[in-house]
Amino acid sequence: MFDYIIIGAGMTGAVMAERIASQLGKRVLIIERRNHVGGNCYDYFDDAGILVHKYGPHIFHSKSAEVWQYLSQFTEWNIYQHKVLAAVDGVEIPVPFNLNSLKLIYPQQLANSLTAKLISQFGYGRRVPILDLLNTDDSELKMLAQFIYDKIFVNFTYKQWGLRPEELEDYVMARVPVIVSHDDRYFADEFQGVPRYGYTKMFESMLAHQNIKLMLNTDYRELLTVNHHTKQIKFMNQLFEGKLIYTGKIDELFDFCYGELPYRSLDFKFITLFQTQYQAAGTIHYPNDYDFTRITEMKQLTGQNHPFTTIVQEFPRACGRKDIPYYPVPQPQNHELFTRYQQRAAEYPNIIFSGRLADYRFYDMHEAVSMALNKFAQDLGR
Residues 139-185 have pLDDT tens digits of 999 999 999 999 999 999 999 999 998 899 887 877 778 999 999 99
| pLDDT digit string, tens, across residues 293-323 | 999 999 999 999 999 999 999 999 999 999 9
Length of the chain: 382
pLDDT tens over the chain, length 382 residues = 899 999 999 999 999 999 999 999 999 999 999 999 999 999 999 999 999 999 999 999 999 999 999 999 999 999 999 999 999 999 999 999 999 999 999 999 999 999 999 999 999 999 998 888 988 999 999 999 999 999 999 999 999 999 998 899 887 877 778 999 999 999 999 999 999 999 999 999 999 999 999 999 999 999 999 999 999 999 999 999 999 999 999 999 999 999 999 999 999 999 999 999 999 999 999 999 999 999 999 999 999 999 999 999 999 999 999 999 999 999 999 999 999 999 999 999 999 999 999 999 999 999 999 999 999 998 886 5
- What pLDDT does residue 223 have? 96
pLDDT in tens, 64-82: 999 999 999 999 999 999 9
Q: Helix, strand, or coil here: 261?
A: coil
96: cis peptide before it, omega within 30°? yes
Give the residue from 75, 78, 366 showing the smallest Cα distance to 205. 75
Q: Are 70 and 78 in contact (CB under 8 A)?
A: no
What does the DSSP 8-state code read for residue 18?
A: H
Nearest to 245 by CA among 32, 25, 22, 1: 32
Reference 261, options 315, 340, 364; nearest CA is: 340
Q: Which of 332, 50, 19 is nearest to 163 (CA)?
A: 332
SS3 at position 253: helix
Question: How many whole angstroms separate alpha carbon 332 and alpha carbon 185?
Answer: 32
Task: Give the count of beta carbons closer than 10 Å to the beta carbon of residue 370.
Answer: 19
| pLDDT of 166 | 87
Task: Identify the burial level of 129 via C-beta atoms within 10 angstroms of its C-beta, where 0-12 means exposed, 13-18 middle and 19 or more buried.
Answer: middle
What's the pLDDT at 199? 98
Do the beta carbons of residue 266 and residue 56 sit within 8 Å?
Answer: yes
Residues of the chain with pLDDT > 70, as a percent, come to 99
